[in-house]
Amino acid sequence: MTASAFLSQLLQLGVALLLAPLLAGWVSQCRAWLQNKSAPSLLLPYRTIHKLFIKDAVVAHNASPIFRVAPYIVFGAMCCAAAIVPSLSTGLPFAQAADTIALVGLFALARVFIALAAMDIGTAFGSLGARREMFVGFLAEPALLMVLFTASLISGSTSLPTIVDSLAHRDLAIYPSLAFAGVAFTMVSLAENARIPVDNPATHLELTMIHEAMILEYSARHLALIEWASALKLFNYSCIGIAIFVPFGIAAGSDDWAAILGAAPALAAKLAIGGFVLALIETLSAKMRIFRAPEFLGTAFLLAVLAMLVHLLLGT
Amino acid sequence: MAAGIPFYAQLINLFAAVLLLISFAMLAQRRVLSLIDLFAAQGLALALSTAVVGWGTGQSHLYWSAGVTLTLKVFLLPFLLYRLIRRLDVKWDVEPLINIPTTMLVGIVLVVFAFNLAAPISNLSSTVTRSTLGIAIASVMLSFLMMITRRKAIPQVIGFLAMENGLFFAATSATYGMPMVVELGIALDVLVGMLILGVFFFQIREQFDSLDLKHLEQLREDE
Amino acid sequence: MIEILLVLGIPLAGGIVLALIGERGHAPTVNVATSLLTFLASLALTARVIRDGPLLVLDQQFFVDPFNVFLVALTAFVGFTTSIFSRPYMRIEHEHGKLTPARLRLYHSMYQLFNFTMLVALLTNNMGILWVAMEAATLTTVLLVSLYRTPASLEAAWKYFILCGVGIAQALFGTILLYFAAEKLLGAEGGALLWTELNAVKGGLEPTVLSLAFVFLLVGYGTKVGLVPLHNWLPDAHAEGPTPVSAVLSGLLLNVALYAVVRCKVLVEGAVHNGMAKMLMMGFGLLSVVVAAFLLSRQKDIKRLFAYSSIEHMGIITFAFGMGGPIASYAGLLHMTVHSLTKSAIFFAVGHAAQKTGTQLIDSIRGLVTISPSIGWGLAIGTLAILGMPPFGVFASEFLILTTAMREQPWATPFLLLALGIAFAAVFSKVQPMVFGETTARRLPHRPAMFPVFVHLALVLMLGLWTPPFLADWYRQAARLIG
């Protein structure tokens, strides 16, 4: 591993960690604009995290060690994921250790621990949320895998940097399969990031919440880590989407530092647009009943499978 | 990779994919009104792809074919269907479809089957559009599946018309379209068939006060 | 060429005229006159073919060869006699209040257009136009099946429309595949769908594609032939429509659909040499014969009974063409002719009987010879003829088919014999009490129009005893063509 590659890796991880709360703030700001509300500050997520870190943690008496370690594991998994998703350049030495399937595995690991922690305390809401989270995850994962497989089939590799390399540096061509996969990926991202129409990140209405129900028992630094991890998850998903569907502008390799730094504005612009679109989707759609989620995610899975079939048939 | 294929062929592939997507959407759509819109959209994708094939291969008769498709399947038939459901007052009809996911899975299996069925034919074909033949067969089969799963008259008929769309697309993708006189004949048949069905719906409604096909299951094999 | 134009033009013009005046008192006469003129034109065409041999006219779009010439004459003839039959029949239906003038107009117009579509299907050289005409034949008859607007007739018409529509869509796909295979050899200009052109190059057509095409074509047109298991629409449509429509459906439409199958089979046999087309046709044919024979005994409605009998006979003919060879194909063609004549005659008689007794239920119709001797005897003779009693033509053709089957496909013979035996027992035991049973009904005053029935039966009798040399010659040539 060259020093330059190492630096590139560190830079991208740092960017992910620092920008993730900003992206979350941007989405909620767009949402507020679209709904004619006065927007919260763009930096609100940072302040929240900071505030939570300086508070004293309260942990339930009957909490087991799982409850205590879960936030760290979740956060760690998200950091690892951030380390293998190219955001500025494809020079990610760490990515050689883990491909897209491992990426899905990391997300699953985080999900399992947060669900375990939610059940650990034994409150009704925790179990309810855990059950729903696993239900949604169980439906979303195959669809996500199918999307990633489609991209892998097109580029001939399951490693994200390689996918980006081959997709970003091709002749301009229409890929119907990628269009299908893109729609499927959007749907999966909505479900995975606890967004409308599957979940509502801003609600504490017990009948509908999924993600929020699981983390009700957390406070202070634990909650801060989980909030940060959620923001990171959104950031990771956005970067995966950018890497597969609009990879133009991401620098190749880790030697050309001008290109890597030049990729930063492109990334910022793409994230800004992506965040706005997410807010738009959330504003335009209504949250559906939890029992409609299988239909929603089934459609995503269907689209992803179609994308793969279309790719196999048309060769594009 | 797609780099070796000319741009118009990529466009055709895109329209083919859209056609397939719409077929699936029709399979899952419960509302009659949206079904008609989807049917019109499918017609549009068909007309556009026919026109693009004509543009890419210099077969000028395909422009006429695309024009016929556009008039008939994007404007005339949806217009007739709209008028029909307004006059029959079934505009907000919602069909209770059970088990959409299962239907979808069956649909996927059908798509795989269709792609396999088309593979030997596609290999023999020399047209640039040959790879879309599988999609054409798939959308025919999906329309067929839709007809089977529907219990109301109008959705069933839309499925029938969608099947015709798939067949037209098959003709375009495998052979650059049938001779013009045949295409005109088919278009005429479809139009007349639609008009006759319109009359027929009124007869059914007059007789049964509904368009539910469960009334039409009285005749048995051994009576 | 002028003859072909007349054969096609007269019914088309008649259909348009009747669409305008079809409800007037003299419309049935116009209908008969149109059919008569069509018949005369077809006779002129036949005479022309006897004199000059096969024709290929109008930029090759229409043709007459030994295979379709007699079918054209037969179609025009049965169309003519049915129109004679329908004149009093529909008048009485009207008097009974079952039909309004508007529906009568629809009936007359559609009747002529139906004849037109069938003649187009027979005469066209273009496989695409053949498809268009077959679909149009469905469209013209679907509103005739639902003419009475009863729940059952609406259901029958809906089934007819949807099943035949889906079926015929398969045939369209088959036609596309055929065109796809032919286009490589003949180029994209219109020639690639012309049957004569295809027949000339059939040896070079891609076998894989043609095999697949034939499956779709057989399923598609086979639905209209009424082959089991695609036959569901047929008994309903026959039983619920007006009797003249049942007569032309059974006597003509099934023939024309089978004609389309056989035209396709000729091409496929030329390209694919593994006997797949033969096996498929024999299989479907045999299945139809057996299933229809077993279902015959369970029928309670007289028109449904004879509809199942039509399925059975179509199965026999399909089996015969599937077997192939000069004798079996000859017998198949003969059977097409005599079945068409006999079955329409039976429907005429049944129609009168049902009209006089006011019911179609077999158990409620008794003692027809007492009520009206001509109807009773007409039905009795017709039934004997269709069941294959000598000396009628059906006997001759079935005998030829059976003997060929014993020699070439011995495995199939027991099934055929069994099915024919069951069919005989079923139909005979049902029709016998209808004709000769006890009845309390009074003799009816007016005499039925039985002229078409006896003309048909006389022709069938003649074909059983003696085939005109030119007809036999056509059969032989057509059989050679079919292979």
The tokens of B183 are what?
Answer: 């295409």
Contact B5 A316 (CB under 8 A): yes
Q: What percent of chain B has pLDDT over 90?
A: 11
B125, B140, B216 ranked by CB distance to C158: nearest:
B216
Contact C139 B203 (CB under 8 A): no
Which chain B residues in 88-107 lie under 8 Å from chain A, judged by CB atoms? 100-101, 104, 107
Least Cα separation, residue C439 to chain B (angstroms): 24
Least Cα separation, residue B204 to chain C (angstroms): 7
Find the residue in B nearest to C189 (Cα): B179
Least Cα separation, residue B177 to chain C (angstroms): 9
Beta strand pairing call for C55-57 and C62-64: antiparallel
What's residue C422's pLDDT?
Answer: 94
Q: Number of B:C CB contacts under 8 A?
A: 139
Asked if C325 reaches chain B (Cβ–Cβ under 8 Å), the answer is: no
What's residue B198's pLDDT?
Answer: 84
Residues of B in contact with A294 (CB under 8 A): 101
What's residue C281's pLDDT?
Answer: 94
Q: Given a cut of 60, is residue B223 above it in pLDDT? A: no
B137, B189, B219 ranked by CB distance to C155: nearest:
B219
Residues of B in contact with C161 (CB under 8 A): 193, 196-197, 200
Q: Please state the φ and ψ torsions of residue C194, each to the nearest 5 degrees.
A: -75, 130
Asked if B63 reaches chain A (Cβ–Cβ under 8 Å), the answer is: no
Q: Which domain holds residue B72?
A: 7-222
Please give the helix or strand (H or E) that residue C57 lies within, else none: strand C55-57
Lowest-pLDDT choice from A99-103, A277-281, B124-128, B196-200: B124-128
What's residue C191's pLDDT?
Answer: 77
Within-domain flag for B1: no
B213, B216, B222 ranked by CB distance to C295: nearest:
B222
Within-domain flag for B2: no
B171, B174, B189 ranked by CB distance to C132: nearest:
B189
Cβ-based neighbours of B132, under 8 Å, separated by 6 or more: A314, B12, B13, B16, B169, B173
Specify the pTM.
0.85
What's residue B3's pLDDT?
Answer: 47
Contact B204 C158 (CB under 8 A): yes
3-state helix, strand, coil in chain C (%, to 5): 80, 0, 15
How many angstroms separate the CA atoms of A309 and C392, rounded? 60
Top residue of B21, B23, B139 to mutate, by most chain A CBs within 10 Å, is B21
Task: Give tens-digit pLDDT for A8-63.
Answer: 888 888 888 888 888 888 888 888 888 888 878 888 888 888 888 888 888 878 88
| Alpha helices, H only, chain A | 3-34, 44-54, 65-84, 100-120, 124-155, 160-168, 176-192, 211-214, 220-245, 257-284, 293-314
What's residue C350's pLDDT?
Answer: 92
B13, B18, B107 ranked by CB distance to A314: nearest:
B13
**B2 pLDDT tier (thresholds 50, 70, 90):** very low
Contact C154 B181 (CB under 8 A): no
What would the mean pLDDT of B81-101 be, rounded to a whole number?
77
Residues of B in contact with C155 (CB under 8 A): 215-219
B147, B156, B175 ranked by CB distance to C183: nearest:
B175
Find the residue in C nearest to B198 (Cα): C143
Cβ-based neighbours of C343, under 8 Å, separated by 6 or more: C247, C250, C251, C306, C309, C310, C313, C386
Task: Give tens-digit pLDDT for B8-28.
Answer: 888 888 888 889 889 988 888
Least Cα separation, residue B157 to chain A (angstroms): 24
- Count Cβ neighbours within 10 Å for each residue of C96-105 and write b for 16 or more, e otherwise: eebbeeebbb
Least Cα separation, residue C337 to chain B (angstroms): 28
Contact B181 C128 (CB under 8 A): yes
Find the residue in A nearest to B106 (Cα): A302
Lowest-pLDDT choice from B122-131, B141-150, C30-39, C88-97: B122-131
Contact B100 A177 (CB under 8 A): no
Within-domain flag for B181: yes
Taking 70 as the pLDDT cut, the residues of chain C under it are: 188-190, 443-446
Give me the residue label for tokens 């005499």. C447
Neighbours of chain B (3+ CB pairs under 8 A): A, C
How many angstroms separate the CA atoms of C180 and B120, rounded? 13
How many angstroms separate the CA atoms of A111 and A128, rounded? 14
Contact B121 C298 (CB under 8 A): no
Q: Do chains A and B touch (3 or more CB pairs under 8 A)?
A: yes
Residues of A in contact with B98 (CB under 8 A): none
Taking 70 as the pLDDT cut, the residues of chain A under it are: 1, 170-173, 201-207, 253-255, 315-316
Q: Do chains C and B touch (3 or more CB pairs under 8 A)?
A: yes
Contact C154 B203 (CB under 8 A): yes
Chain A residues in contact with chain B using a Cβ-Cβ cutoff of 8 Å: 154, 170-171, 173-177, 179-180, 294-295, 298-299, 302-303, 305-306, 309-310, 312-316
Neighbours of chain A (3+ CB pairs under 8 A): B
CA C50 vs CA B210, C426, C470: distances in Å: 56, 42, 7
3-state SS assignment for residue A58: coil
- How distant is the alpha carbon of residue A80 from its chain centre? 12
**B1 pLDDT tier (thresholds 50, 70, 90):** very low
Q: Do chains A and C touch (3 or more CB pairs under 8 A)?
A: no
Residues of A in contact with B101 (CB under 8 A): 294-295, 298
The residue type of B40 is A
Find the residue in B nearest to A293 (Cα): B101
ipTM comes to 0.90
| Alpha helices, H only, C22-126 | 27-52, 66-95, 101-123
CB B19 within 8 A of CB B42: yes
CB A81 within 8 A of CB A106: yes
Cβ-based neighbours of A252, under 8 Å, separated by 6 or more: A89, A90, A91, A165, A168, A169, A259
Q: How crowded is the C-beta side of C71, counted as CA atoms within 13 Å?
A: 31
Q: Count up the domains in chain B and report the number.
A: 1
Neighbours of chain C (3+ CB pairs under 8 A): B
Question: How many CB atoms within 10 Å of residue A33?
Answer: 14
Contact A313 B108 (CB under 8 A): no
By C-alpha distance, which of B218, B199, B99 is closest to B153?
B199
Asked if C76 reaches chain B (Cβ–Cβ under 8 Å), the answer is: no
